[in-house]
Structure 1
């Protein structure tokens, strides 16, 4: 349990960006200080060793010269060796030759020879050889030896005490460890203060975001002088606020439109019922009231169905099958359904569609039906509604054109809005719900396509549906 609590506490601590930056800054500082100190330590130790090596090498060369001058005079060799050993304090020299053993040595006490653990190493070649030798934990020596050719061979040994060097390097290591510890503490403190100061804009941004509500969606945060690392985040957040504001306003307008559109038929139904109940009526009057109510019920049912379709179409997991269809056959089926209405209005339907389209058959017919219904209602007698296709790069376009009254320029940006109707009188007369083009747009979005509208007042309107083209030999995927 304690391990779990410790792990959770560590996770909370390391979850802070300021703490993480501090730890990384401290670790980097310690690493750099330790690396620099280690390099300096190695250089210092190597320099001390080289100085001692030069002393030992010079002494070997001097004894070698003495041996050359006094080859057969052992007494002179001993005397000169003692003189050479006394020139530098802490230097010990001895010369060994089998089978006589040590034939010359310094006059002073030699700790490498005169102790229970004498020096026993010897060079294997004629080159100078170097060793580190420790008698006790606090007595350190550097030994250099060279064997000289002869019969028998002579070996020169020279040693120097390095205890002071070892003690100096130990103090240096302690100082380095202390300096690294102090640097670590200073780096943690300074790094945390720097990180906290650097993270102030993030805290400020968090405060602004926390203050935002439904009534502050118009506010923008990108105008403040943010650091360069936060400018992109602030800009993206502004775009998110813009999308949220647009969606919120659209939902608000949609809710108000729904309330308004449902209130009208309900008021009509209630008014007709109150009139019918105000006094006795004939069966014909009651029948007319019921027929009028049925018309309003039909309008309410169509509106509810359209709203349910739009709600389902906007779900993120909405999917549909889009097989390859013959566009001419699909258009012909829709034209056949609206032919009676066209004959009654004396409008000609022309089917010039051709080619394959990847679409859901039910939704394609619903979109074309909405467009044909609008076109027929706005085309005068003797006019024409033409459905044709065109192939564009990676797109198959189905266009529905009429020779009707057209749409005013100020109405064009709003024709795809829900419940929008340029001719409000038609909407009140039950000839539409104001959701037809909104449904068409949702259907095209489900297919991954686009819808465009071109209209000129008094010249007619053209609505173009652009469907993605499926390459030959591949099946249409599920649209999402």
Structure 2
């Protein structure tokens, strides 16, 4: 299993490595610069000694005079070695020192014009130059000069040890400081974690204090607060739904249990048993409808509703529903009217169910002598179906909750003859959403309007194809 490291550890390691690399690079640059400076100093010194040797050669009258003069000039320069050659034969040479035979070639290839070489225990830097004496017809003179650079190397070795020690110590200090900075920098994240651990199903109203966090984490805290808000809304909705579901199921179940217990309390005739079974069957049908509606809504929530795609004439479907509800409308003394015509792409049975839910609600809540109007309007943006009815207005505070499951509006709109479970509008909204549409409600001046908007033929066809 791959090891998991904390963010503090990762930042500390990264900061330490970055600091170490920077310090190593800086130390290397310092060492190279100082070594280059020493090479330049040695080169200038060697050129100066060559120039001095040339002056001595120019003033010397004989080889013996040359040796004497050079001994006098060079004896005080410790670590300096000189060799003067003419035609390959030495005119002067420092005792106990051997120049490399290819010094001329080394000088030509050397960096900054100063060649370096090493013997068993010493290191030298040298230079060669050809000199032609004015007024002389003899061969040019080769001047070879070398310096013992052991003191430079000792200095560089000491400097290297100091730099290595400093880089190691500074990297360690940088690591400690990086750990401290990471630990303190991530303190708000730990505080956020503590806050999150305190949030439970009973404390979903807790929020992250965005003002206490840095700007980078404030956005995260805001996002978490928004997530907690949505979770609380959904949790409250689920709790309310569970309570409403238990309440709705309790009534028919209690009816069945009570009626069954009363029936079993004494012997009854066949007709009485038949009537009791018929009454129980009605309760079972109510339970079956409720379970089927909840299953439909559960599928809608998970995108499992896959409507078929066909062109539907909304006005034709409305006329068919008017024929079905004609008897109920006459009983309620309500007139049914149809305005406009348009077509939509969708599932015929689902669309008819949505229209039926709205139409039955409208008839139920419309006072006697009033009318229910279904107005169908189509344009380039899509088709809108408005179901309008007169009656008691809906409180504006209730409108956002009309599509909640098991929700019923205030008592002024509740009818005793209704056997619904409060799922009709939720199912209608799920059907419209499955077709890529939207729903809206308005209740003004005693007129209530439920609107279903379906997208245009082209966009609706794309939506349903994608869903399928």
TM-score (normalizing by structure 2): 0.86
Which residue number corresponds to residue 32 of structure 2? 42
Note if 1:135 corresponds to 2:108. no
Distance 1:53 1:410 in 2: 94
Which residue number corresponds to residue 177 of structure 1? 164
From the superposition, tell whether residues 218 and 67 of structure 1 become closer, same or farther in structure 2 (CA, over 3 Å).
same
From the superposition, tell whether residues 178 and 299 of structure 1 become closer, same or farther in structure 2 (CA, over 3 Å).
same
Which residue number corresponds to residue 60 of structure 1? 50
From the superposition, tell whether residues 356 and 475 of structure 1 become closer, same or farther in structure 2 (CA, over 3 Å).
farther
Q: What do residues 290-320 of structure 1 show as CA deviations (whole Å, max 9, x unaligned)?
A: 44333333222211111111122112x5352
Conserved? CA contact 1:56–1:160, under 8 Å: yes
From the superposition, tell whether residues 336 and 177 of structure 1 become closer, same or farther in structure 2 (CA, over 3 Å).
farther
- Counterparts in 2 of 1:364-403, with a 5 A limit? 364-390=351-377, 394-403=381-390
- Counterparts in 2 of 1:84-163, with a 5 A limit? 84-99=73-88, 101-106=89-94, 109-113=95-99, 118-123=100-105, 129-136=113-120, 138-148=121-131, 152-163=139-150
After TM superposition, give the deviation of residue 145 of structure 1 in Å.
1.0
- Counterparts in 2 of 1:366-445, with a 5 A limit? 366-390=353-377, 394-422=381-409, 429-445=417-433
Which residue number corresponds to residue 281 of structure 2? 294
TM-score (normalizing by structure 1): 0.84
Note if 1:479 corresponds to 2:461. no
C-alpha RMSD of the superposition: 3.1
From the superposition, tell whether residues 293 and 204 of structure 1 become closer, same or farther in structure 2 (CA, over 3 Å).
same
Distance 1:331 1:68 in 2: 127
Conserved? CA contact 2:299–2:305, under 8 Å: no
Equivalent pairs, count: 458
After TM superposition, give the deviation of residue 285 of structure 1 in Å.
5.0
After TM superposition, give the deviation of residue 478 of structure 1 in Å.
2.2
Q: Which structure 1 residue ranges, 5 or more long, are not aligned?
A: 1-6
Q: Which structure 2 residue ranges, 5 or more long, are not aligned?
A: none
After TM superposition, give the deviation of residue 18 of structure 1 in Å.
0.5
What is the aligned counterpart of 1:202 among 189, 197, 200?
189
Distance 1:324 1:177 in 2: 81
Note if 1:326 corresponds to 2:315. no
Greater shift in the superposed pair: 17-26 or 395-404: 395-404
- Counterparts in 2 of 1:71-82, with a 5 A limit? 73-82=62-71
Q: What do residues 171-220 of structure 1 show as CA deviations (whole Å, max 9, x unaligned)?
A: 11111111111122222233223322333332232222223221111222
Which residue number corresponds to residue 4 of structure 1? none
After TM superposition, give the deviation of residue 347 of structure 1 in Å.
3.6
Residue 448 of structure 2 aligns to a residue in which SS? strand
Distance 1:473 1:297 in 2: 38
Q: What do residues 91-116 of structure 1 show as CA deviations (whole Å, max 9, x unaligned)?
A: 111112214x211234xx34334xxx
Q: What do residues 259-284 of structure 1 show as CA deviations (whole Å, max 9, x unaligned)?
A: 11112222333444455555566666
Which residue number corresponds to residue 29 of structure 1? 19
Which residue number corresponds to residue 251 of structure 2? 264
After TM superposition, give the deviation of residue 359 of structure 1 in Å.
3.2
Distance 1:391 1:156 in 2: 107
Which residue number corresponds to residue 168 of structure 1? 155
